[in-house]
Structure 1
């Protein structure tokens, strides 16, 4: 057993996955605390579902070790790992009733029929699907089917729940209500949950801890607030947040400031490794930009498009050098296309990145 694999809920020790000569998961180390809701998030092809399937035992581990509740499960079958998985497709048996679908796994495990009935009743009460128990999956809506799929996982009383993009087949309104439902279940059940999604809104709203993945590697692990407000690199800063963070090319002046066109902005970073003229990237969240009077520490731009969404307006602007800027406004005048506007951003909201994407602090 590798160092660090101990009494936590889930521990991954130097996990690698290869298909022939192609390595797709590159030495991942991760510890998940008991009862945490952890979300794996990242773009398509980043390895998040492969990593989840290795935890489940549905994919073999090429190298490394997986422990669940202090037990090395690396080579165990899925049924022996103490996990239950909810898939993107509901995977319900169409010829069985909801009641039969919920109890099928327990029946196959030769659980006492009275115990099956009791546990199915408990789960149907938790998920509020009592009126659906005698229906078949074809008679249910998408949201109802997903509730049944989740109930089938709950009824097994696993140590760890695994969710593989469970809401991606639902419409936008239903996804919101199901997010609330899953969050409520986590509070009530208290089990460790690992959830895979490409939707960073789901990650931000559900997670205790977010694991941001890219190309089979962990880019950053932290709370939603940590990865949003203190991104480890330019990839995380751009992936987490909608609209995404603005990135403007800037030139280091060597005196603690950067120039963006005619604007000179203070840069509270350690510039000892930089030389005057080095190119940086200044990152700014759209909501941190404020319309203001022109001045030295102001970014001037022209409004290209204004998007009114009721309580929020987004201004899509262009700087003189052609760079783009998105600004979020909660109040203020209706800016017209072609108008010139100046913006300020608080010094503590400025994030600086090197040319290779590293965060500069």
Structure 2
């Protein structure tokens, strides 16, 4: 790690006798956009609040630009945080909301005016400076909340699910705005979300969390194409990766239902009768003309989305499987198909979720 990044070393958090963050080690390069993602209760917001200084660190160290900030007050860490709730002062104008923190810090009036004007221009809200929060849309209020962070000129921006209160269409446009903001400012940004689409859209680096532990760290492409375990494979992707149980029958073959598929494992040699999980992305499944190296399924539901259709299927042994289907003849409920996944697209896991190679 460069001295200008952020480092978490052995970070733990306990509430009484319950440990909820278990020894997190993480390097964040300067200027990176890092997204913490995981299901509710995985510890992502707690970890963010520890970085911000809003939660006490039970053990371990947090360093920003080589400086140990573990025990520093939030105001001394060089961070600014944007919350899920906008937390704007309703009786103040946008201008006064943006400049309030600087005013409390006794900044010069000219400096406040310059910083507020600069932040408003970056966020394209300079025409709203004389309005009050009640006169703004949800997206405009979130821009003001982000602007309040910008005027502080922090080393690191922290975002705690900032788009959760917005409707779906506005969330898409605000994701684009936040990505543009990162490109323009170049600051380190750490963003918490449970929405894996936001994570894939925004991140340079994704940190997948589960039960207070890091499951995998990598670029969106690395996380998607080379998941470390079945949890990551299932959590990242919409629809999620298919996971179907196969029984190793020896000689590079495994049984699914009444058919056999090829299994290419360079390192692991399962014992005959051993179960493994076969992971296949819906978009990698193709309709085959015969059963060879394919899975026989019956279609339960077809979902038409214009250019894309999703087929919700059942294997012969009752396992669920989703396939993306484009540019072919109509497929109806009750149809029987053979679905094949190219061998290089398959991922294998043991019954505990560990990756097999």
Distance 1:253 1:340 in 2: 25
Deviation of 1:313 (Å): 0.2
Distance 2:330 2:128 in 1: 50
Q: Where does residue 242 of structure 2 map in the other structure?
A: 246
Distance 1:110 1:185 in 2: 27
Q: Where does residue 265 of structure 2 map in the other structure?
A: 269
Aligned residues: 357
Alpha-carbon contact 1:228-1:240 (below 8 Å) kept: yes
Which consecutive segments of 4 or more residues in structure 1 shift more than 6 A? none
Unaligned runs of 5+ in 1: none
Q: Where does residue 332 of structure 2 map in the other structure?
A: 336
Alpha-carbon contact 2:268-2:356 (below 8 Å) kept: no
Deviation of 1:295 (Å): 2.5
Q: Where does residue 222 of structure 2 map in the other structure?
A: 226
Distance 1:288 1:274 in 2: 25
Q: Where does residue 91 of structure 2 map in the other structure?
A: 95
> What is the aligned counterpart of 1:48 among 20, 44, 50?
44
TM-score for both structures, normalised by structure 1: 0.97
Alpha-carbon contact 1:8-1:31 (below 8 Å) kept: no
Alpha-carbon contact 1:8-1:32 (below 8 Å) kept: no
Higher mean C-alpha displacement, 308-317 vs 330-339 = 330-339
Residues 158/344 of structure 1: CA separation in 2 closer, same or farther (3 Å cut): same
How do residues 1-361 of structure 1 correspond to structure 2 at under 5 angstroms? Answer: 7-270=3-266, 272-361=268-357
Residues 333/87 of structure 1: CA separation in 2 closer, same or farther (3 Å cut): same
Unaligned runs of 5+ in 2: none
Deviations 1:273-309 (A, max 9, x none): 5211100000100000001101221111111110000
Deviation of 1:267 (Å): 1.4
Deviations 1:234-290 (A, max 9, x none): 000000000011111101123122111232222121464521110000010000000
